[in-house]
Chains A and B, each alone.
Chain A
């Protein structure tokens, strides 16, 4: 039971949204600055290493237009200038904190004005962390089968920026890869509205999704909800979602849809009936199209920006159409 575990942390470092998070406004009564966030994050990372000497850690940063690895406990940096002698700090903590802060500073400084317009590369960081986990589990399985099972790999996403509906497909694919690798994805929404995709990521991989309500208690949230490895979570429960937004984004306009139309051959999702599936080129009979068009609700699908009220949505799996239900293929009966 007392096994070492691996934690990959994906930190959203979007400058725009951190600026919004740190300014006091009507919606944001408890501002959280990046500086105070990072110091609490570092304590959390130290706690993970403190729990067990063999625990491993990787930190990935999400920046506009790029994703970078900030720290990995595998690549021990030798001859580090931060190596200055210190009798008061446990050395692995010092190396970890120093490296994370230095790499963040380097990468943020390298951001040009043009980069700020780009969307953040959450998918890139998520994919990198999955690749990293795959690598460490693959190498340890070469040593012995016991160690593979002992890693309990987890990913923690600390997100501040809203969903980009354009990245729906890659995020879903990452979630399925995580399921295959048996990686638990935990999500902490530090700032901003609920994230539909990340809720699904946590739900489908058995992780926990938390919307930070009190920014000043971030560290306590992190420690209690995201630090315990799966073995402990069976004994000491962690907060889970009571409702999950299962809506999907359509493949044609990347809009989050309440009612979608699913290709009966390849299960692609569309926001309106199409004569030819753009993914698999299947032609649909004209009769079906007419029937579907007739059956469409009179109101047009709300635009993405119109902030769909999450509470009004059904919370169970019985969503009307086009939702992703576990890893099973969506049944074509979603067509109406």
Chain B
């Protein structure tokens, strides 16, 4: 049996260290667009929070300096083990145009510096943190519990629709715009008869944590906004402004630009904001919106599992592959059903087992073993957290082995070279190909070998040259 390398620690630190997906999007934007975005203090503060800790510290070190400092002054503080992260951070910040790329001097982008200073010291007249309004006595604003319930309901409608597509159930349909977004992002696709069906990336999406899911959808929303000729900077700065707003407060819609007002309906559909009617002059951001740039759970409590137990986890997994999930949330059950063979259901408990068939079904849907394991880890019951390692090793190994079973055949594109005139010819070309390290398979008896795609141009040129020499 092959041994499988299990290294959850490095895996988790890697994901923590990988930059936020929004940053990759920002790096693809033009400098002028970014400079416009950096004009708003709230955008700068939110982007600042999405950066990695070392990048944040570098920015703060430079924030209060009026002039640029020589590169050597800053790098003198870097410890030997910090050398690589430091260089990574600098190139990252250069791509965001926060610290312009330079080999000699370090300074913050002046727009970014001015806005972040203003964000931290307060004041100014930009109004970029949202204009609060006094609640309208006629329509009392929702309290935090109502807002949470509302956001959760909206969000679970979307996820539940995705997970139960194609199973014959008919849950509540999300709005048309949401459906379009799901389709456009490739999470769902139109099958015969115009029925939406979840795709393999959709299955993977379901196993992510809500925070990542939300950003994935919002990123798609940004791409869509670009196609719809909406101003990306306006859209993004509105989203970033939402993330700095306070939960349980009402904000005026009057200071919003036309683009931003047009977004309100969409954001309502995702459950990011609450409006008592489409024409209301104020809105309340929900927890989904206010936690966009933090790592606290965006959905505080699940509808049914009781306060606190949602972010604590609910899954108990035993070494005999049996799984007990303390939940009656249809969404969570549906997600579990993707890779667990569910056997019985009780008012607050679902019992099932992880079997070869159930895991293979998930793998066929495009879910990977790592995703299953990370889902089980993040949603493990507090009781499970006493175990070390958290999940039984046998089960983890077996899930990975089942995945390997599927990956016995690996395909690679390439070219088959046959019909060599002589053994010498064959060996001559093969030697050359071996030098290039492009030979995938060879058979001297049949005088043929298989080379990879990128080596083809070279081999072909080589053979042609050789034939020309001979002729």
Contacts and interface: CB of A to CB of B under 8 A. Distances in A.
Contacts of A43: 120-121
Contact of A236 (B17, B82, B133): B82
B79 A236 contact: yes
Contacts of A320: none
A54 B13 CA distance: 19
B306 interface: no
A54 B255 CA distance: 29
Contact of B123 (A85, A88, A143, A145): A88
B379 to A, nearest CB: 13
A71 B17 CA distance: 32
Nearest to B89: A235
B392 to A, nearest CB: 19
Interface in B32-72: 41-42, 45, 48-49, 52-54, 56-58, 60-61, 63-65
Interface string A233-269: 0111110000000000000000000000000000000
B246 A91 contact: yes
A47 B382 CA distance: 34
Interface stretch (A101-109, A203-211, A223-231): A223-231
A235 B78 contact: yes
A82 interface: no
Interface stretch (B21-29, B287-295, B406-414): B287-295
Max chain A CB contacts within 10 Å: which of B53, B54, B121, B131? B53
A237 B77 contact: yes
Contact of B126 (A2, A88, A91, A228): A88
B120 A54 contact: no
A220 to B, nearest CB: 6
A223 B48 CA distance: 15
A89 interface: yes
Nearest to B48: A50
A93 interface: yes
B385 A145 contact: yes
A276 B450 CA distance: 94
Given A235-B78, A235-B82, A236-B79, A53 B246 contact: no
B296 A54 contact: yes
Contacts of A53: 49, 291, 293-296
| Interface size bracket, B side | 35 or more
A135 to B, nearest CB: 19
A237 B291 CA distance: 31
A325 interface: no
Interface in A112-147: 143-145
Interface residues of A, number: 38
Given A144-B382, A223-B61, A90 B16 contact: no
Given A50-B48, A90-B42, A90-B119, A237 B78 contact: yes
A54 B81 CA distance: 27
A20 interface: no
A159 B385 CA distance: 43
B294 A232 contact: no
A60 to B, nearest CB: 22
Nearest to B78: A236
Interface in B279-293: 291, 293
Contacts of B127: 87-88
Contacts of A89: 122-123, 129
A46 B121 contact: yes
Interface in B70-114: 77-79, 81-82, 85-86
A189 to B, nearest CB: 21
B82 to A, nearest CB: 3
A51 B82 contact: no
A62 B291 CA distance: 35
A1 interface: yes
19 contacts: A2-B52, A46-B122, A50-B48, A50-B49, A51-B53, A53-B294, A53-B296, A54-B296, A86-B122, A87-B132, A89-B123, A89-B129, A90-B41, A90-B119, A220-B65, A232-B53, A235-B82, A236-B78, A236-B82
Given A88-B122, A144-B382, 19 more contacts: A43-B120, A50-B119, A51-B49, A88-B125, A88-B126, A90-B42, A90-B122, A91-B129, A223-B61, A227-B57, A235-B78, A235-B81, A235-B82, A235-B86, A236-B57, A236-B58, A236-B77, A237-B77, A237-B82
4 closest A-B pairs by CB: A235-B82, A53-B294, A89-B122, A87-B127
